Amino acid sequence: MAVPPEVVFSRYFQERFPYIPPVRPEDPDLRPYRGRNDLSGLPPIVQEQLRTIQETFNEALRTEKQGVPEHVDHPPFHVDYVDSSIQNALAFQYGGYSFIAITVPLIYAISDVCKRLSKSATVATLLGVRPSDEEYNELHAVLFYLLTAFVVAHEYTHHVHGHVSMPSAETVFPNEILDTGCNGNMKLQIEEITADGYSIYHVLANFIDGPGRSWLTLLKLDAKQASVQDEVLFALVVVAVGAYLFVRPAPDLNDIYELTHPPQAARMNFLMHEAIGWCRQNRPELEAWMKRRFQNLMSAVAEATLGVSGAHVWEDQTAFFKSEEGAKYISSLSEGIIAYKQSL
Ligand SMILES: [Zn+2]
C-alpha cells in the first residue's frame, strides 16, 4: 500500500533536518523545518480554516489539467503545512509526490497583509467595495484566499516547469521568502519571474473566468454589471499580489545579479505584463481600465501595508530600473525570460 502523503511529507523534513537533542534542556531547537505541522497547537477556528484551504488546493491539484505540452512529468501533488517558525513556501519532490509546503507563519503574514488592506478606506474605495466593520471582514476573506492561491500556484509552477528535481542530498528547493540572500543567479530569477507569471495567469483565469467569481456574492456585487465585476476582480488580484510583494524584505540592489528573486518592483512589472497578456486574450477592455488606475492602486497598497513612508522602497527600485545599470539588468532579465519561454 502506498505511504500516505502526510507521512512522506514529514519524513522528508525529518531526514533533511534531523533532530539533535540539545546539550542543555533550555537550548533551542535549531531545525528550520521540523516535519509536518498537524495544526493541533492552533485555535480550533484557525485549524478549520487552514484545513479548508488545504483541502481546496489539494482537490484542485488532484484534477489538474493533464497533457499540457509545456509541463514536465511530475508525480501527484500534495499541499501541506510544515512546522517552522520561518515565513516560507517550498516546492520539492520526494517519495512519489510533488509537495507544496507552506509554513503557518507565512499564512499569518498573508492574513496580516490582507487585514491591513481590508481596513484601508482608500483601497476599498478604489476597489469599489464596502466591507463590514468586522475585524476580519469579507474583503479580508477574498484577499486572503486570492493570495494563498497565488502562492500555491507559484509553487505549482516550480513543479510543472521542472524547477525542482528529484531528491538528492544537494537538492535546493526554492526558498520563497528568505529572498534577501545573495546565493542566487539570473537562472533562478528567471524561474521566479515565470512562476509569478504562470501563477497570476491561473489566478486570473480562476477569479474572472472560473469558480473564483463566486466571491462576488460575499462582496455583495452580484447585482453589478459583468464588466464592473470583472474590474473589481482584476483589481483585487493586483492589490493582493502587489501588497504581498511590498512586504517582502527589500534586497540590496548592489548584488542584483546574485539575488534569488528579482527586486519586488521588477517582479510586479513582469507580473503585470503577464496579467495584461491574460486580459488581451480574455477581457481586452480591462487593459486600458487597469492602466488608468494602476499607479493609484499601488500607492494605496503601499500606504496600507507599509505606511506613508513605506513607498520609498518601491520608488527607489523604480528609479534604479530607470538608471543605465538598472535598464541593463531589466533587459537581461527580459531576454532570459524570452529564451526560457522558447525552451518550454
Ligand atoms: Zn518561487
Note the pLDDT tens digit of each residue in 209-220: 999 999 999 999
Q: What is the mean pLDDT of residues 219-230?
A: 96
pLDDT score recorded for residue 20: 87
Q: How far is the CA of 23 from the centre of ligand 1 (A)?
A: 36
Cα 164 to middle of ligand 1, angstroms: 10
pLDDT of residue 165: 63
Asked if pLDDT for residue 167 goes beyond 50, the answer is no
135 alpha carbon – ligand 1 mean position (Å)? 31
For range 23-50, the mean pLDDT:
91
Q: Give me ligand 1 centre to Cα 195, in Å.
A: 6
Contact of 167 with 220, CB cutoff 8 Å: no
CA of 262 to the centre of ligand 1 (A): 11
Query: For position 69, what pLDDT does the model report?
Result: 85
Average pLDDT, stretch 90-104? 94
CA of 177 to the centre of ligand 1 (A): 9
Q: What is the pLDDT of residue 174?
A: 52
Q: How far apart are CA 219 and CA 316, in angstroms?
A: 35
Q: Are 258 and 184 in contact (CB under 8 A)?
A: yes
More confident residue, 85 or 177: 85
Is residue 19's pLDDT more than 50? yes
Candidates 186, 194, 114; CA nearest to 154 is 194
| 269 Cα–ligand 1 center, Å | 16
Q: How many whole angstroms separate alpha carbon 327 and alpha carbon 134? A: 45
CA of 121 to the centre of ligand 1 (A): 32
CA angle 5, 29, 158 (to 5 degrees): 40
Question: What residues have CB less than 8 Å from 140, skipping those under 6 apart?
Answer: 111, 114, 115, 117, 118, 131
Least confident of 58-67, 145-154, 169-178: 169-178
- Whole-number Å distance, alpha carbon 310 to ligand 1 midpoint, is 24
User: Rounded to the nearest whole angstrom, what is the distance from the C-alpha of residue 309 to the centroid of ligand 1?
Assistant: 28
> What are residue 80's DSSP bridge partners?
101
What is the per-residue pLDDT for 177?
A: 59
pLDDT score recorded for residue 67:
84
CA–centroid distance, residue 221 to ligand 1 (Å): 33
Q: How far apart are the first and last CA of the chain?
A: 35
CB atoms within 10 A of CB 218: 16
Q: What is the mean pLDDT of residues 235-260?
A: 91
| Residue 163 Cα to ligand 1 middle (Å) | 9
pLDDT, average across residues 295-309: 87
Instruction: Give residue-wise pLDDT tens across range 41-74.
Output: 999 988 999 999 999 999 999 988 888 888 999 9
Q: How far is the CA of 209 from the centre of ligand 1 (A)?
A: 25
pLDDT (0 to 100) of residue 169:
38
Cα(133) to centroid of ligand 1, in Å? 35
Mean pLDDT lowest among 178-182, 289-293, 312-316:
178-182
Average confidence (pLDDT) over 131-142: 94
Do 178 and 86 contact (CB within 8 A), yes or no?
yes
Find the mean pLDDT for residues 180-193: 84
Region 261-285 average pLDDT: 95
Lowest pLDDT segment from 8-12, 67-71, 74-78: 67-71
Q: Give me the pLDDT at residue 182, please.
A: 67
Q: What is the pLDDT of residue 171?
A: 43
- Note the pLDDT tens digit of each residue in 111-132: 999 999 999 999 999 999 999 9
